[in-house]
Chain A
Amino acid sequence: MWGSMFRWLDPYAKPETLYHLCGRLLPYLMGLALFTLLLGNIWGLAFSPADYQQGDSYRIIYIHVPSAIWSMGAYSSMAIAAFIGLVWQIRVAQWAVLAIAPIGAVYTAIALITGAAWGKPMWGTWWVWDARLTSELVLLFLYLGVIALAGAFSEAARGIKVASLLAIVGVVNLPIIHFSVEWWNTLHQGATITKFAKPSIDPSMLWPLLISLLGFALLLAALTCLRLRSQILMFEQHRPWVRQLVDSMAASHQKEQN
């Protein structure tokens, strides 16, 4: 059953095919990402109404919430890739772990920094060691740990294996982050949109937030394509297909110059 369900994915386990697929997807993803990010953020930051309590300060939500949600989304994707890479030993999945980790780390850092910038004027402090903030900080350390472990071995394959194991184990942190505001009492407020209930935000503020959310997702996908392409080239640099690619690019470059 499993074999036939995922048979259509098989061709993309071949690095060359995946390289070209990512190359074809990249311009669309990047274009759509830029469009939705601009639309969502300009709408949210300039045109949506101010909040009754927090005034204009709440507007950082249009960056904070999408980056926080996708810092966790990126982690799940990375862990799934790590799992496939470990169990089925598919090399492109292993490289995907290396491709996603720095993007996720930056998303997490953005979530933490915008959160601190929001906390200072509203709560009165940049940082507090409550469960939500601490578990999100742990997520940043998990990303950094994956990046560091992957590069800590002289044999690249070994490093990726250990890093993948850490990536999979770190999944335990995701439900902790999500439910931290329900399980324990925290300074951080509860979830606004990621819950099985009507979002507790006015529709006039919700739409730009959803668009920003989509924008951050598309940007994550686009950056992953970009980084995965360079990972593939790096690990396959001695293969004939990469040589051919480089030769044909050099040829066309020379043609342009002449």
Chain B
Amino acid sequence: MNPRRQKRLVAVTAFVLLLGGAIGAMLYALQQNIDLFYTPSQLIDGIGDKKVKPEVGQRLRIGGMVVKGSVRRAPDSLKVSFDLVDTGPIVTVEYEGILPDLFREGQGIVAQGVLVDKTTILASEVLAKHDEEYMPPEVAEAMKGIKHVPPSQLYKESDKGQQP
């Protein structure tokens, strides 16, 4: 390799390594801010070595699995509350509004809202998270025992008599 090329090679490589290193260090420092949400155990036990906990009144996002049997709907409004879990502690989310189609018990969700007390969040937005697995319904039923009925069919039969 001739010396001029070698010089350019070294210059370009050094430039890229320096900038790459700087960006890497920045991302490392910002690590906790890049996470989209707190998990229930992070919310209750705190994050990192210093166990930093969010304060009551803080706006935040929480992400976890909806605990089976914890969804409580108000009979006369869109108010709903449910529990979230990841590995241990449970956090309660209260929400008034329309839930996404994928929302159901056992599903991962991300809610944005205000921490009203240590383990309760008043959510203004609830988003559904889905995993990276895709399969036809028959396979899902055979492998996981999941039989998913879309909400549009879920309420059709039972609600017919009650609709005004």
Beyond A53-B130, A128-B127, is A87–B8 a contact (Cβ under 8 Å)? Answer: yes
Instruction: Give the chain B neighbours of A200 by CB distance below 8 A.
Output: 131-134
- A61 an interface residue at 8 Å Cβ cutoff? yes
- B20 an interface residue at 8 Å Cβ cutoff? yes
Determine if B35 and A122 form an interchain contact, defined as CB atoms under 8 angstroms apart. Answer: no
- B50 an interface residue at 8 Å Cβ cutoff? no
Contact partner of B20 (CB less than 8 A), chosen from A2, A172, A183, A187, is: A172
Instruction: Give the chain B neighbours of A89 by CB distance below 8 A.
Output: 5, 8
- A:86-133 near B, CB below 8 Å: 86-89, 121-125, 128-131
- B56 an interface residue at 8 Å Cβ cutoff? no
- A25 an interface residue at 8 Å Cβ cutoff? no
Instruction: Give the chain A neighbours of B141 by CB distance below 8 A.
Output: 52
Determine if A124 and B128 form an interchain contact, defined as CB atoms under 8 angstroms apart. Answer: yes
Determine if B15 and A165 form an interchain contact, defined as CB atoms under 8 angstroms apart. Answer: yes
Chain B, residues 30-56, CB within 8 Å of chain A (1/0): the string is 010011110100000000000000000
Complexed CA–CA distance, A55 and B153 (Å): 13
Complexed CA–CA distance, A131 and B32 (Å): 11
Nearest CB in chain B to that of A193: its residue:
B132
- A171 an interface residue at 8 Å Cβ cutoff? yes
> Nearest Cβ in chain A — how far from B86, in angstroms?
10
Complexed CA–CA distance, A172 and B26 (Å): 12
Nearest CB in chain A to that of B39: its residue:
A185
Contact partner of B37 (CB less than 8 A), chosen from A2, A88, A124, A185, is: A185
Instruction: Give the chain A neighbours of B101 by CB distance below 8 A.
Output: 121-122
Complexed CA–CA distance, A134 and B13 (Å): 26
> Nearest Cβ in chain B — how far from A145, in angstroms?
14
Complexed CA–CA distance, A88 and B12 (Å): 12
Binding site for B on A (CB under 8 A): 2, 49-55, 58, 61, 83, 86-89, 121-125, 128-131, 165, 168-169, 171-172, 176, 183-187, 189-192, 200-202, 204-205
Contact partner of A52 (CB less than 8 A), chosen from B12, B34, B148, is: B148
Determine if A190 and B135 form an interchain contact, defined as CB atoms under 8 angstroms apart. Answer: no
- B:90-142 near A, CB below 8 Å: 99-102, 110, 125-141
Beyond A2-B1, A122-B101, is A86–B130 a contact (Cβ under 8 Å)? Answer: no
> Nearest Cβ in chain B — how far from A117, in angstroms?
15
Chain B interface, number of residues (Cβ within 8 angstroms) = 44
Contact partner of A172 (CB less than 8 A), chosen from B19, B37, B134, is: B19
Instruction: Give the chain A neighbours of B128 by CB distance below 8 A.
Output: 122-124
Instruction: Give the chain A neighbours of B35 by CB distance below 8 A.
Output: 131, 184-185
Beyond A55-B150, A172-B19, A185-B63, is A87–B5 a contact (Cβ under 8 Å)? Answer: yes
Determine if A128 and B36 form an interchain contact, defined as CB atoms under 8 angstroms apart. Answer: yes
Beyond A54-B102, A86-B8, A189-B132, is A202–B139 a contact (Cβ under 8 Å)? Answer: yes
Instruction: Give the chain A neighbours of B5 by CB distance below 8 A.
Output: 87-89
Instruction: Give the chain A neighbours of B146 by CB distance below 8 A.
Output: 52
Nearest CB in chain B to that of A201: its residue:
B134
In the complex, besides A124-B125, A125-B127, 4 extra interface pairs with C-beta distance below 8 angstroms are: A53-B102, A131-B34, A169-B20, A204-B136
Determine if B100 and A124 form an interchain contact, defined as CB atoms under 8 angstroms apart. Answer: yes
Complexed CA–CA distance, A2 and B2 (Å): 13
Determine if A130 and B132 form an interchain contact, defined as CB atoms under 8 angstroms apart. Answer: no
Instruction: Give the chain B neighbours of A128 by CB distance below 8 A.
Output: 36, 110, 127
